[in-house]
Amino acid sequence: MSWNYTDSYEWMERVTSMEPLIITCCCNGGVQGKESHRGIPETPEEIADSVYEAYNEGASVVHVHGRDPNNLGDTTMDPEVMYRINALIRERCPDIIINNTTGGGPTSTMEDRLRSLDALPEMASLNMGPDMSRFVIKAREEALDYPRPSQEYDICIPFTYGFIEQLAAGMLEKGIIPEMEMYNSGQYWVAQKLISEGLIKTPYLFQFVMGYQTATYPTPENLIHMARELPAGAHFTVAGIGKYQWAMTTQSILLGGHVRVGLEDNIYLKRGQKLKNNAEAVAKIALISRELNREIATPEQARSMLGVSSIPSRY
């Protein structure tokens, strides 16, 4: 059950009895691939294997991006590719919550984002505003499939009120739970608009993305501020990007929120040591949570908390 996470008295009452921690594994991503870390899965089979390992360590939700089968160095939102990935994940993980991206990657079109819902995930990310960033993707070496030189992007993905409403309406029609991606507190204007129009139903799920370019700075004060603005009936999860992953997700555990970890957001276990795989990231945050007296949510518990059907999707 959601509660007022920033109420001092309520927090003191709940500090030793918070609900189990939902761990989302962001297993790959729409930007970097094996050129950044050989453990990032790219093919549908690799993705399913990686998710299975993370599931065994305690992940109850998986956030998935697709890769173009004709060019694994690039992303795809083709619903047929995403459906196949979802089906392979379900074969390996009978009850994990499957969350597909609608953010995609630098080469995705807005039509791609809308069509991706046809893969029928149980949950999907829903950006609450424009996505502006500048970055360089490392070169893919000759040892990898589809080698290419490094690429520089300077982009802004135009998530407008109207387009976000289209995505939310599509999710509502297909019974897909939206995971509202919040990059700053001003995006609550958009969330409140969706709520007022009946396009988002309780329990609401917000994800605070901390440490991403042009997003709110990843500080304890800012995370508390983001949580303070949550509407009634909301859960939140935190994604910390790069070196901020472990600090921000640990703070979320302490506040009563949930977490997202994995190779999409961060490739390091600790300073100077890379993660072996997604499972190692899930195992680390699960250990931190248990040490802080929060148990790990099973997929069944996560489904109940987030309003996802108790009957897992079939593909």
pLDDT at 1: 62
Structural domains in the chain?
8-306 (3.20.20.70)
CA distances from 265 to 60, 63, 108, 176, 255 (A): 17, 11, 19, 23, 21
CB 61 within 8 A of CB 99: yes
List the pLDDT tens digit at each of the 315 positions of the chain.
678 888 899 999 999 889 999 999 999 999 999 999 999 999 999 999 999 999 999 999 999 999 999 999 999 999 999 999 999 999 999 999 999 999 999 999 999 999 999 999 999 999 999 999 999 999 999 999 999 999 999 999 999 999 999 999 999 999 999 999 999 999 999 999 999 999 999 999 999 999 999 999 999 999 999 999 999 999 999 999 999 999 999 999 999 999 999 999 999 999 999 999 999 999 999 999 999 999 999 999 999 999 999 999 999
pLDDT at 5: 86
Q: Residue 211: left (phi > 0), alpha (psi -120 to 50), or beta? A: left
pLDDT at 295: 98
**Distance from C-alpha of 189 to C-alpha of 194, rounded to nearest angstrom:** 9
**Distance from C-alpha of 222 to C-alpha of 218, rounded to nearest angstrom:** 7
